[in-house]
Amino acid sequence: MGGLLENVLNAVAAGLIIGCLYGLMCIGLGLIFGIMNVVNFAQGELLMLGMYVSLYLVSGFAAIGFLGPYAAPFVAALIAGPVLFGGGALLHRFLLRHVSGLSTASRLDQGGFGQLIVTLGISLILQNGGLILFGSTPASVRTPLSAKAFIIGPFAGDTMLFLNQARVYACVVAIVIAVALWLVMERTRLGKSLRAAADNPIAATYMGIDVDRAYRIAFGLGSAITAIAGGLMATYLSFTPFVGLDYVIIMYSGVVLGGMGSILGAFWGGLLVGFVQQVSALVLSPQLQNAAIFVVFLLIVGLRPQGLFGRSAERA
């Protein structure tokens, strides 16, 4: 019995920790989706770029090496944010603005299609460009923390809880970033103007908000957040330029579950996906863990088409 309890508790703890990281990752996509109504297939590649930027900052530059193997990976992950913010903003400026937002509102009905192809193309370019630049050897940003665990217990007999330290710290950083972003969106003029542009772009224009710029910032911010999540996840898993493929689906599940357009919702959706994935490991083989995510996904979406936290406005 003790063994079972221990397994369950460990799976729950791992689920919550991984879930927070997934939650952060989903917020990035949720921002882009919620504000611009763009289905971004390249979001997984932004995650991948976050991982590699983080890797090169740690191993390639002495600049942050002095922080030591403990702090450097986390600082690097945070730096990946601004780097990818710039990248995302450029992608929007030169590619996406031509196929999304106000520029397509006047077109008959095909606007949605163009945007899909363009993000698919970006995804292909980044994946394969990554392959050229980074090679296909699995890499990872190792810190000594990956091999250490916080041990809680023993309690209730001999039950012990093992928490991977790298993951715990990554999780804490993820929560801090998520809260910070939430505060930005709720409290600052910038955040409010982004929400206004999402709510009613035409009225936002009447207010003097440059909606195109708002979209560019949203895309940059969404890219940055997912990249930070990537940098954090890089501390505990190994990755290749194709890692985005595995996660883009998870991101979409999380965002749809949370209710598109809601930032908090995206976080909870991601958390739920991570939780289901880890906890299902108790009873399912590894291959079926992801299948379990989709079963839960289809169930929830079937029962509550507007997502767990979404408003039903989109159904009309």
Partner 1 sequence: MLEVRDLSVSYGGLRALHGVSLSVKPGRFVTVVGPNGAGKTTLFKAICGVVVPGSGEVMWDGAPLLAQPAAKRAHLGIAHVPEGRQVFRTLTVRENLEMGAYPRSGRERWAHTLDRIHTLFPILAERAHQLAGTLSGGEQQMLAIGRGLACAPRLLMLDEPSMGLAPAVAETIFERVAQIHKEDGVAILLVEQRVAEALELSDHGYVLETGHVVLDGPYQTLLADDRVRRSYLGMGEEA
Partner 2 sequence: MRVGGAARLRRDTVALAIVSVLYVALASLVHNSYYQLILTLVPIWAVVGLGWNLFSGMSGLVSFGHASFFGIGAYTVTLALVYWHLTPWLGIPLGMIIGGIAAVLIGLPTFRLRGHYFALAMLAYPLAMLYVLQYLGFQEIPLPMHREHPALFLQFAQPFYSTLVAMGLFIAAMVAAMLVENSRFGLALLAIKQNELAAEAAGLDTKRWKMLALTASGAISAAAGGLYACVLLVVTPDSVFGVIVSAQALVVTLFGGVATVWGPVIGAAVLIPLAETLNARLGDIVPGIQGVIYGVAIIGIMLAAPEGLFWTLRDRFWRRAPAPEVIEERASSLAVLVKEGTLLEVSGLSKSFGGLRAVQDVCFSVAGGEILGIIGPNGAGKTTLFNLLNGVLPADAGSARFDGRELRGLKVHEVARLGVGRTFQVVRSFPRLSLLDNVIVGGYGAGLGDRAAAAAAEAALEAVGLGDRAARPAGELTNKELRLMELARALAGRPRLLLLDETLAGLGREECDDLLAVLRELRAAGMTIVIIEHTMHAMLRLADRFLVLDHGAVLAEGLPKDVVEDRAVIEAYLGTKFLAQHHNSADLHA
Nearest to 26 by CA among 309, 315, 316, 312: 309
Write the binding mask 108 to 137 for partner 2: x where contact by CB under 8 A, - elsewhere.
xxxxxxx-xxx-xxxxxx-xxxxxx---x-
Are 292 and 272 in contact by the 8 Å Cβ rule? The answer is: no
State the nearest-atom distance from the C-beta of 293 to partner 2, in Å.
8
Q: How far apart are CA 36 and CA 261, in angstroms?
A: 9
Q: Contact with partner 1 (CB under 8 A): which of 109, 137, 206, 287?
A: 206
Q: Contact with partner 1 (CB under 8 A): which of 196, 248, 266, 300?
A: 196
Nearest to 210 by CA among 225, 196, 224: 196
Partner whose footprint covers residue 48, from partner 1, partner 2, none (CB < 5 to 8 Å by kind): none
Contact status: 260 vs partner 1 (CB under 8 A):
no
Of 138-146, 187-195, 216-224, 290-298, which segment contacts partner 1 by CB under 8 A?
187-195
Q: How many residues bind partner 1 (CB under 8 A)?
A: 19
Q: How far apart are CA 146 and CA 297, in angstroms?
A: 30
Of 2-10, 46-54, 202-210, 240-248, which segment contacts partner 1 by CB under 8 A?
202-210
Write the binding mask 258 to 287 for partner 2: x where contact by CB under 8 A, - elsewhere.
--x------------------------x-x
Long-range contacts from 159-167, C-beta under 8 angstroms, 24+ separation: 159/2, 159/5, 159/6, 159/9, 160/6, 161/6, 161/9, 161/10, 161/13, 162/10, 163/13, 163/17, 164/14, 164/17, 164/236, 166/73, 166/235, 166/236, 167/14, 167/17, 167/18, 167/21, 167/235, 167/236
State the nearest-atom distance from the C-beta of 173 to partner 2, in Å.
28
Contact status: 192 vs partner 1 (CB under 8 A):
yes
Q: How far apart are CA 281 and CA 147, in angstroms?
A: 21
Q: How far apart are CA 75 and CA 231, in angstroms?
A: 9
Contact status: 180 vs partner 1 (CB under 8 A):
no
Write the binding mask 28 to 67 for partner 1: x where contact by CB under 8 A, - elsewhere.
----------------------------------------
Q: How far apart are CA 57 and CA 280, in angstroms?
A: 35
Partner whose footprint covers residue 22, from partner 2, partner 1, none (CB < 5 to 8 Å by kind): none
Site residues (vs partner 2, CB under 8 A): 33, 37, 39, 41, 95, 98-99, 107-114, 116-118, 120-125, 127-132, 136, 241, 245, 248-249, 252-253, 256, 260, 285, 287-291, 294-295, 297-298, 301-302, 305, 314-315
Q: Which residues bind partner 1 (CB under 8 A)?
A: 189, 192-193, 195-196, 198-200, 202-211, 311
